[in-house]
Amino acid sequence: MKTAPARLFGWIPAITVALATLPASIGVSAGDASCISFDLPPTAVAIPVSNVDENIVLPGGVGETVEVSLRLSSLVCGSKLPDIDRWMIRCVPRSTSWRVVDYAPRTETASEYASPIQIKTTDERSSSFGMSSDAAPIKVHGAFVGASGHMGFDKAQKHLESTQFDRQAPLHAVTAAGTIERGRGVYYKLRWTSSQVLEGEKEFKVTFGVPQGFRAGLLDVSVIAIGKPAEGHPVSEAFSHIPVLGEDQDAMRAIGQARFVVAVHAEGDPDAWMAAETLIETEQMLRAQAKKIRSTTPTHSLSNLIRHVASKLDPSGVDVHGDWVDRLIFENADPHTDAIIRQLPTSLRVLALDYCDARKSLQQMQTRRIGNDFESFRLTDLGSNIATD
């Protein structure tokens, strides 16, 4: 029985040595790795729109229309750049009462050719008729007595037909756009072409039909870049081209992606603006604290790897390196019932509860009224006591 622990854990040194003897050249250095990062402002202003139908019928009754602008930026860096083929963008509101009324840009097509394609066909037909003549002397016993001969003539005919016309150059979609989620959200698909570069800032505008007296809400925005990764180290490339379950290593794949939550507030509503800023500030504090705690428990050592596996097997274990932050922000995980969040350190658990409270306060903002009329707001009222609850 005393030798059992040695037999149980006798494989650990062997694995450690095996990992240490792997060639360091297989990995790609940070300077050679390509990077595609996306950025989107955390807040957006909902501007009233008056050039569309005012009587928007929503599930909850008659609503109004507002326009939201999203400025998505991308940065492609690294010594070896990937081959980006397209972006896929989705924008869906959290509230089920919103409806997409309009969006921009719309579907656009273009061609690789600057002008129509010119086509020319030629049909040539020819026929000929030959003639010949010759003569020969006639001699009798060596004496010339006359001559004989014959003659002919040639006739030639040539027919030439030429047809020339212009053919429309083939088109392909540069930008494709449409609605998703039964008209609640919108999608965009952008391709990298000779006339469109998928780097830098792109602006998207969506007009939503929202309930009357709208003040604030949330948008879920996701973006994914599809293309071919940049070529890495020759050794790592050799390993990456080993087929795994029939995978095509040369096929297009996701080479960059990001998800965002955008807090939308009505134009000129200081309380809604403050609620949106509070939510974003709380999210930043939550992510910073989670990153700080994760940095104190790195997962690069074998002992932490074992502890990570043990936390999965042990119901009472807590994995601070898991995806609990994304589940809380993007999937509305309940911090009161989520098994992982409930066992987080106190500082993280408090910030998670604060974030949920800020999100709930923004989503449940009611229409502000004075008597029977909607109260008007101006951005200059922010910080003053003119507009009071």
Residue spans of the domains in the chain: they are 33-111+171-229+251-267, 269-389
pLDDT tens digits for 141-186?
666 666 666 666 666 666 667 777 666 666 667 789 999 999 999 9
pLDDT tens digits for 325-372?
889 999 888 988 888 888 888 888 999 999 999 999 999 987 654 444
CB 37 within 8 A of CB 75: yes
Q: CA dist 33 to 245, 286, 347, Å?
A: 26, 29, 35
Confidence of residue 383 (pLDDT cuts 50, 70, 90): very low
CATH code reported for the domain at 33-111+171-229+251-267: 2.60.40
CB 232 within 8 A of CB 240: yes
Confidence of residue 54 (pLDDT cuts 50, 70, 90): low
Q: Pick left, alpha or beta for residue 354 (phi over 0 → left; psi -120 to 50 → alpha; otherwise beta).
A: alpha
Q: How many CB atoms lie under 10 A from the CB of residue 336?
A: 10
Q: Which residues contact 95 (CB under 8 A, 6 or more apart)?
A: 210, 217, 218, 363
4 membership: H or E segment, kind and range: helix 4-8
Nearest to 273 by CA among 3, 32, 46, 98: 46
**pTM beyond 0.85, yes or no:** no
Task: Give yes or no for residue 91 having a pLDDT over 90.
Answer: yes
pLDDT for 185 equals 96
CA dihedral (111, 112, 116, 121) in degrees, to 10, reads -130
